[in-house]
Amino acid sequence: MSNRSIVALKFVVFPACLIPLAVLVYQGFTNSLGPDPVATITHTTGFWTLYFLLISLAVTPVRRLSRRLAWLIRFRRMLGLFAFFYAMLHLTTWVWLYSNFDVHEMVHDIGKRPFITMGMLGWTCLFLLAATSTTWSIRKLGGKRWTMLHRLAYVAATAGVIHYWWIVKTGVRTPWKVTVVLAVLLLARALWWAKEAVSKKKVAVTA
């Protein structure tokens, strides 16, 4: 895909990523957030954090399917940053609507409630990833170290899925779909690495 069409496509993808927020805002203004607006806002921002994380983690495995999909990598940073954007909104609902800015209460909750601890862990990972997402950071850190650091994306996604399992009631299995998607994406990477390791060995043997 040409550079020009990638840029053009970005102008479409960027506003599309804002649709979930736009819908929330629209619902807020038309008083149609449902019977439990706080829960609607929390769940929507939480789900979209997970969805954007999974979509950005899908970029690499999908790209590896064909050389012709290499351009997808140009969208990964934007998708990842949107994951952080929705995570930020999700955290804000907790800080504001649930905790009413009570710092003492929040610190207590982070220490005491495993699902919040896990959520904060995921958020912290996303924060580090977002903070080092600039081209300047890549240069400053060096490609290798930057790549290592950005493996935190796996930690963030795993923490997000565990965070989800720990908030639903025992016996409820709704988080299974995102769990399967995450498992498939991680497995795809494991298989790729295994394949790489084998072919490297072969190269070593023949050389």
Partner 1 sequence: MLIRKPSDIPSSEITSKSDYMNRRKFMTGAAALGVAAFGADRLKDIASPGEGVHATEKLATIPSKYSTTGVAPTSFQDITTYNNFYEFGTDKSDPSHNAWRLKTSPWSVKVDGEVKSKKVFDIDALMKTHPLEERVYRHRCVEAWSMVIPWVGYSFSEFIQQCEPLSSARYVQFLSLDNLQEEPWIRTVDLHWPYSEGLRMDEAMNPLTLLTFGLYGQTLPNQDGAPVRIVLPWKYGFKSAKSLVEIRFVKNQPRTTWNESAPNEYGFYSNVNPNVDHPRWSQKYERIIGAPFWKARQPTLMFNGYGDQVASMYQGMDLRKDF
List of residues contacting partner 1 (CB under 8 A): 19-20, 23, 28, 31-39, 41, 47, 51, 97-98, 100, 105, 109, 113-115, 166-167, 169-174
Ramachandran quadrant class, 22 (left: phi over 0; alpha: psi -120 to 50; beta: rest): alpha
Question: Min. distance of Cβ 115 from partner 1 in angstroms?
Answer: 6
Question: Min. distance of Cβ 158 from partner 1 in angstroms?
Answer: 19
Torsion of CA 91, 94, 99, 102, to 10 degrees: 0
Please identify, using beta-carbon distances, which residue of 114 and 142 lies nearer to partner 1.
Answer: 114
Please identify, using beta-carbon distances, which residue of 153 and 167 lies nearer to partner 1.
Answer: 167
d(CA 36, CA 177): 24
d(CA 74, CA 196): 23
Please identify, using beta-carbon distances, which residue of 40 and 124 lies nearer to partner 1.
Answer: 40
Question: Min. distance of Cβ 145 from partner 1 in angstroms?
Answer: 34
| Cα-based distances in Å from 99 to 90, 92, 106, 147 | 13, 10, 7, 36
Question: Min. distance of Cβ 106 from partner 1 in angstroms?
Answer: 11
Please identify, using beta-carbon distances, which residue of 39 and 187 lies nearer to partner 1.
Answer: 39
| Cα-based distances in Å from 190 to 171, 185, 194 | 30, 9, 6
Query: Are residues 119 and 42 in contact, defined by beta-carbon separation less than 8 angstroms?
Result: no
Question: Min. distance of Cβ 157 from partner 1 in angstroms?
Answer: 15
Please identify, using beta-carbon distances, which residue of 87 and 152 lies nearer to partner 1.
Answer: 87
Query: Are residues 84 and 126 in contact, defined by beta-carbon separation less than 8 angstroms?
Result: yes
Please identify, using beta-carbon distances, which residue of 17 and 156 lies nearer to partner 1.
Answer: 17
Question: Min. distance of Cβ 132 from partner 1 in angstroms?
Answer: 29
Residue 206 CA, chain-centre distance (Å), reads 41
Neighbour count for residue 101 (Cβ, 10 Å): 8
